[in-house]
């Protein structure tokens, strides 16, 4: 593969960005803080590829952190966006496109009877938590260590060592009071879950989780964990929130809840429902959603919510997924990649674990299964950094942290996967 290690213009642009943007980036995940070095500055995307300002080409396994399930610049999306732009960019008034997308989401997502569009995944989870508290009249919420739900004050908490540890802020600027009603449990820990509900069940407004974790790397829930969670929430009138910002329409046409057969009360969505445009949504049972203003008293608003350009992009994406139903293809491609990466590690004598659900997966440099935050953080991050740069220099664009997830798109081919695996074998051999 072509050597893409030379990126002088990216160096120049990063130095420029550092002078006017904190850390030189507008989201920390782009900063290469976990792996070191300078990020390539991307000029354009096309199908399964990214091209940087130095003219380097990369096979892209990030897809803008998940939205580009159809690859970059899919013709249906570009056509829909161009048509929407002909009518304007924003009106601050209802449009037909909002109902079109809402109806499709209601049709496809098992838990959603009504849905409210917002502008980001963070806004969706923030609104879902407020809704659950307003609907139940309770204050306490539960999240799981390693699950990221956006930069919401009440959810920016770190886990303590005990199962029933109250959250303490994990970011300056978040008052202790904002997290005083947030409990953190270990992911996949059924006994801790049962203990929490035994002690706090009548106080719990909501439990929120990623049904497949993507923000401590890809971590897969056990069937017992999800089934127990659903049963306990039902028994205690606690709102179960699935954060499907990442998994929504990624792991199946009916999202993770359809794949696993577990229906939450409220679902948050993002990424794919905007096709790369800034979009989020939260939806659920009609009786819960009718607690939202202007029908109910729980207030949430947004000037740009339901933006017509974003609605056009999301609608085109979902319609294409319905038309093509590419999930068997995505499953096959991702399995080819996962199997090959595991073989590359074994051939090099390097212990690795591969966690995969559908077209999202993570390679952990770890000699034990990864099932929660504790086992994920036992991975060898220094070795990952070497792996990441070795792959980047061979033209493969991967997530720049051991604790992120890569994504396969319909634009990838078996031949591109094989090229990736050739780069992986060469990189592993040098670690």
- Residues with catalytic roles: 148, 243, 271
Is the separation of the CB atoms in 392 and 58 below 8 Å? yes
Give the chain's end-to-end CA distance (angstroms, integer).
18
Please state, in angstroms and rounded to a whole number, the distance separating the CA atoms of residues 326 and 409: 9
Is the separation of the CB atoms in 250 and 407 below 8 Å? yes
Long-range CB pairs of 158-164 (<8 Å, 24+ gap) are 158/184, 159/184, 159/186, 159/373, 160/184, 163/189, 163/191, 163/192, 163/195, 163/196, 164/192, 164/195, 164/196, 164/199, 164/200
Bridge-partner residues for 124, per DSSP?
Answer: none
Phi, psi values for residue 159, rounded to 5°: -85, 145
CA atoms in the 13 A half-sphere facing the CB of 16: 7
Can you list the alpha helix ranges (DSSP code H) found in 261-380?
286-289, 308-324, 327-347, 373-376
Please state, in angstroms and rounded to a whole number, the distance separating the CA atoms of residues 375 and 372: 6
Instruction: Look at the block and give the residue holding tokens 């009138």.
Output: 237
Phi, psi values for residue 34, rounded to 5°: -85, -15
């Amino acid at each position: 593969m072509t050597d893409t290690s030379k990126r002088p213009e990216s160096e120049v642009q990063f130095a420029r960005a550092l002078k006017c943007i904190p850390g030189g980036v507008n989201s920390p995940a782009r900063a290469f803080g976990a792996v070191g070095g300078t990020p390539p500055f991307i000029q354009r995307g096309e199908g399964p590829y990214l091209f940087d300002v130095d003219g380097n080409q990369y096979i892209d396994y990030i897809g803008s952190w998940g939205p580009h399930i159809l690859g970059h610049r899919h013709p249906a999306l570009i056509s829909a966006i161009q048509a929407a732009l002909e009518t304007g960019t924003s009106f601050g008034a209802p449009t037909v496109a909002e109902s079109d997308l809402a109806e499709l989401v209601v049709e496809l997502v098992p838990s959603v009877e009504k849905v409210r569009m917002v502008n980001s995944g963070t806004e969706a989870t923030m609104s879902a938590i407020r809704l659950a508290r307003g609907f139940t009249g309770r204050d306490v919420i539960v999240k799981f260590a390693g699950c990221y739900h956006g930069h919401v004050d009440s959810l920016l908490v770190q886990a303590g060592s005990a199962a029933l540890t109250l959250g303490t802020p994990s970011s300056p600027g978040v008052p202790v009071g904002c997290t005083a009603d947030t409990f953190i449990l270990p992911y996949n820990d059924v006994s801790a879950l049962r203990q929490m509900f035994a002690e706090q069940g009548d106080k719990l407004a909501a439990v929120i989780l990623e049904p497949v974790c993507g923000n401590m790397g890809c971590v897969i829930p056990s069937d017992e964990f999800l089934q127990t969670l659903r049963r306990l929430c039902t028994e205690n009138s606690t709102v179960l929130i699935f954060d499907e910002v990442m998994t929504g329409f990624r792991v199946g046409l009916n999202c993770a809840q359809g794949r696993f057969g577990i229906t939450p009360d409220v679902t948050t969505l993002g990424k794919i429902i905007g096709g790369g445009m800034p979009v989020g949504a939260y939806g659920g049972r009609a009786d819960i959603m009718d607690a939202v203003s202007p029908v109910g008293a729980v207030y949430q608003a947004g000037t740009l919510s339901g933006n017509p350009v974003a609605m056009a992009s999301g609608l085109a994406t979902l319609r294409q997924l319905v038309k093509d139903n590419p999930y068997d293809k995505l499953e096959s491609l991702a399995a080819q990649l996962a199997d090959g990466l595991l073989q590359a590690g074994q051939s090099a004598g390097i212990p690795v674990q591969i966690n995969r659900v559908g077209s999202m997966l993570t390679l952990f440099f770890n000699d034990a299964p990864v099932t929660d935050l504790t086992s994920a953080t036992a991975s060898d991050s220094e070795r990952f950094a070497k792996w990441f740069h070795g792959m980047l220099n061979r033209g493969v664009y991967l997530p720049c942290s051991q604790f992120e997830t890569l994504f396969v798109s319909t634009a990838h081919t078996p031949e591109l996967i094989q090229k990736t695996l050739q780069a992986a074998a060469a990189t592993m051999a040098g670690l």
